[in-house]
Amino acid sequence: MDEMEQPSSLDSEGTYSSMARPSSAFYYRQSEPTSITEIHQIVDENHEILIEIQPMDSGFSMMDGSISDLSTIVKERNLIMLSALGGVVGVAAALKTSLKDGISGSSHDISHRQGTFGSNVFHKDAKSFLHFVQEALQDILVLVLLVCAALSIGLGIKIDGHKEGWFDGGSIIFVVFLVISVSAMASFMKNRLLVKIFEASYSSPVTVVRDGRRRQISISEVVVGDIVLLIIGDQVPADGLFVEGHSLRTDESSMTGESALAEINPGQNPFLLSGVKVAAGYAKMLVTSVGMNTTWGERMSLINSEDFDVETPLEARVNQLAISLGKVGLAVAFTIFLMLLGRYLTGHTKYEDGRIEFIASKTEAFDVIKHVVNIVAVVASILFIGVPDGLPLGITFILSYSMKRLMMNDEAIIVRNLSAFETMSSVTVLCTDMSSILTSNQIKVTKSFLGKEWIEGRSRCAVRQFLSVTATDDAIHSWAVLKLNMEMNMNTRDFSILDIDASCPEKRVGILVKNQLDKLIHAHWNGDAEIILSSCSHYQDENGNIATLDGPEREIFNQIIEDMAANSLQSIAFAHKQIPQDEYENEENDQNIPNNDLVLLGIIGLKALHQPGVKEAIATCQQAGIKIQVITSGNVSIAKAICSECGILAPNQDGSMVKGVEFSNYTDKERLDKVKNITVMPRSSPLEKLLAVRCLKEKGDVVAVTANGPNDARALAEANVGVSMGKHATAMVKESSDIVVVDENFTSIAQVLRWGRCVFSNIQKYIQFHLTVYASALVINLVAAALVGKTQLTPAQLLWVDLITEALGPVALAAEEPTTELMKERPVNRADMLITNIMCWNIIVQALYQITALIALKLKGKTMFGIREKSSDTLIFTTFVLCQVFNLFNARILKKKNVFKGILKNKMFLLITGATIIIQLAMVEVLNKFAHAGRLDWKQWGLCIGIAAFTWPVGLFTKFLPAPDICMETIFSYLPLE
């Protein structure tokens, strides 16, 4: 072991300097002044090794073993170990990072760092396809069918020989595994989609410094060694160390449970943990660990993959429906079992040649066992349809598939959970803000005043102090450079920043600076003109003279602000105050920047251009029965002007405008009585927005809230659906929201609402289709068992029908796209029954038609069409399958009469129906022995198609009949759908 020496640290020049020995001793060896490549061991006073660092061949100063130790230092906030590494400067040197310019950012450097330290991905591994196959094989019905199939094969070979004896059992096994494969594939696709949604929900833009330039990248692209810039509302993207900044405080409640804000500083607490929120200030941080190696990653590793697959309210209702239907199906299957077994044992069943199948003391035991096994297999197959376990899976698939299509069609929309997507169909009130939501990102300065005078065209000198170092807004900066020909760098290079107050950035921002030329200290403020004006006691006129801001003068400035607001201009005021050097030096370090007795420098008016199509999108929402309620912190006049231009506020509708403070001063009863009548609520605080959302929900409304400011996080979380707007929305806002609209386009909100209604409509279509098959299949087999002692469909045929119903049906109907008619209907009432009167009426009429037609074929097929019994069974089987195919067309349109409208746009629907017909043709003409079917001639095929196609005119006729209200109440009132 090396000789013990005095510990060292890296000074500002990047070289080691001696420092006093702390309580712990450190072993190290130094060879390069800017590296810690040969520090071998760090031990405590008990000579226990805390960290071991050795040279590595990867090009970085730390090897893989020490990276986990570095991660531990941050997680455990170990200052002693950090000091032993040379502090932040030493760690940066070891990671080959410049604290000023960041990493190089080259593709080679990035890939090298990702390969060495890992990627910043908080992932959950998707389950494999085989996992879902294994899960499906654990179904009791599947096991029963496989056991029956195995017994059937053995008994069949014993009785009928090797050539044909295995057909019955083999066909069951083949179709069972086909059903399992398709079901497992649907579950696999759903799981993969949910994993992608989970990962996307934690992907937000981050600002980093690379090669001396600021760049905005995805959080997943952050690597160890990156210099990340943090501002209020950001979520810390990885574990790291504080480099520099002002007044940084973080909310670590999500990680530690502590409600108090943590102060981050270079001396006592330079540690930043991934997942925490920046509550105040700004800073640079050095990333030390990423991805699953971070504090947040450790938490994610403890989350089971099922945790993000949360059951939505609609899925819960469908599950309850499936349970209720399952009880009915179980009763029917048990009844069929008793009928089949009773008729067989009493000698009421016969072979095709007329011989009685069972004669006591004469029928061989193998024949009896085989027949009983076949009965069990038939009953188990009936239960596949009668106990609709696949119904909830089909609903979830439609939800997931539709959500994926929405995000693929519009990359600006990210849906973070299925429940919110489903809830969009029921939204009755949309609470929104004006900032960056009703207006676009294109903002320009249209009016500007120095003192009381309009300054357009004035000299640069006259407005230089007016802009000072606070002109950081892009629109203001561009105006100063392009319109006034100012060189803005001259305004900032002579100043050093001492402190920044951005605790309320949507209202005002304060900055404390020191002029390096005259050493004077200034407090500068800019923000909402009314608020800044209220903090001013003097103003600077157009000649640079300071005058008292008395009553008449203040009224002039108030009028300027009102005139701007009336013209939809956002007024921004600039003010400053010079602070004596001795006064500043005597102040405590944590004292706020002075914000009273300011000198008003000037006012500018910002014009935000309306988004293209926003007025039409608002009209669409209003037509759909959705009330648009604007709750904004903005000025009354500007709120009125913008809302009138957008069509939210009708002419002479001033009575529907209520200030936030007035709303909060109402009694509880007054708020509940008046909240629905409010259209615009200007001058509202985040707490008043939250109060309005709660009142609306208490009144029974389904509320969606759109926002982009960190103070709106509580309102977003309280709403039924929270929507964060804009790529610059803070991580705090995004985490509180259910849907992220990246492009800040209000028309995207209308798009999400349209898709929400579409997915609910598609779910209702699938339920109608599924229940039609459910009812007709159970009744047909029940009647056949009672009349002839045999079910009409064999196990293989029943499983094929189940595959169409629970796998192919939802895929075909999930592909239906939103229509304009959906936004002409009222929002879906979540208190209504899931199965409407119209759906119930369609189910009954279609099921009755199929049952009647197929029973008639069974009983009268020989006399009416002259077909043999074997052909009759095949005819019924084929007709039944084709009825479901043609009924898919009826299910496409629940209310309208033209079921073919837009059919050519739905390629998936056409593909599914076409594939089903082709497979049915192959089962009858090629695989008929497996399907227990006989081949049909072209006339018989024509008969099957004709009977099945008649479901179309039956469906059309049904829609001309009024749906009786008593229908659904009588049939479904006993089903616990809630």
Q: What is the pLDDT of residues 599-615, one digit of tens each?
A: 998 888 877 666 777 88
Other Cβ atoms closer than 10 A to 581: 11
Number of H helices, E strands in the chain: 35, 28
* Residue 807 DSSP symbol: I
Task: Tell me what percent of the chain is helix, strand and coil, each rounded to the nearest 5.
Answer: 50, 15, 30
Over residues 697-725, the mean pLDDT reads 86
Burial class (CB in 10 A: 0-12, 13-18, 19+), 131: middle
**What are 416's two structure tokens?**
């973070």
Instruction: Give the confidence band of 223 by pLDDT, cuts at 50, 70, 90.
Output: very high
Catalytic residue among 69, 433, 738, 873: 433
pLDDT tens-digit readout, 141-155 = 778 778 877 877 777
Q: Domains in the chain, ordered, with CATH? A: 64-118+222-302 (2.70.150.10), 121-207 (no CATH), 389-401+760-973 (1.20.1110.10), 413-438+611-744 (3.40.50.1000), 442-583+593-609 (3.40.1110.10)
Measured between alpha carbons, how far is 88 from 837 in angstroms, rounded to an integer? 69
Task: Quote the pLDDT of residue 870.
Answer: 63
Coil vs helix vs strand at 862: helix
Strand boundaries in 335-402, DSSP class E: none
* Residue 515 DSSP symbol: E
End-to-end Cα distance, the chain:
72
Instruction: Give the confidence band of 950 by pLDDT, cuts at 50, 70, 90.
Output: very high
H helix intervals, 106-166: 107-117, 129-137, 140-160
Contact call for residues 934 and 871 (beta carbons, < 8 A): yes
Measured between alpha carbons, how far is 179 from 171 in angstroms, rounded to an integer? 12
Contact call for residues 266 and 281 (beta carbons, < 8 A): no
**What are 778's two structure tokens?**
């159970």
Contact call for residues 273 and 214 (beta carbons, < 8 A): no
Contact call for residues 166 and 156 (beta carbons, < 8 A): yes
Residues 6+ apart with CB under 8 A from 180: 133, 136, 137, 142
Write down the mean pLDDT value for the chain: 77
β-bridge pairing 521-528 and 536-540:
unpaired
Angle at 71 between CA 69 and CA 73, to 5 degrees: 70
* Residue 424 DSSP symbol: G
Strand boundaries in 154-276, DSSP class E: 205-210, 213-218, 227-230, 239-251, 262-263, 271-272
Q: In which residue are the tokens 């080959």 written? A: 96
1-15, 793-807, 832-846, 900-914: the lowest-pLDDT one: 1-15
Contact call for residues 557 and 536 (beta carbons, < 8 A): no
Measured between alpha carbons, how far is 741 from 234 in angstroms, rounded to an integer? 17
pLDDT tens-digit readout, 60-108 = 555 344 555 677 888 888 888 888 888 898 888 888 899 989 998 888 8
Amino acid occupying residue 474: D
pLDDT tens-digit readout, 181-193 = 777 777 777 677 6
pLDDT tens-digit readout, 688-702 = 999 999 999 999 899
829-843 burial, b at 16+ Cβ within 10 Å, e below that, comes to: ebeebbbbbbbbbbb
Measured between alpha carbons, how far is 824 from 367 in angstroms, rounded to an integer? 63
Over residues 401-410, the mean pLDDT reads 76
129-138, 408-417, 447-456, 557-566: the lowest-pLDDT one: 447-456
* Residue 782 DSSP symbol: H
Over residues 46-66, the mean pLDDT reads 44
The answer to whether 410 is a known catalytic residue is no
Of 909, 888, 914, 920, the residue nearest 811 (C-alpha):
909
H helix intervals, 214-348: 253-256, 295-301, 313-345
Task: Quote the pLDDT of residue 456.
Answer: 57
Top pLDDT among 703 and 895 is at 703
Task: Quote the pLDDT of residue 605.
Answer: 82
pTM for the model stands at 0.70
pLDDT at 868 over 80: no
Cα-based distances in Å from 208 to 219, 579, 766:
10, 34, 48
Over residues 624-628, the mean pLDDT reads 91
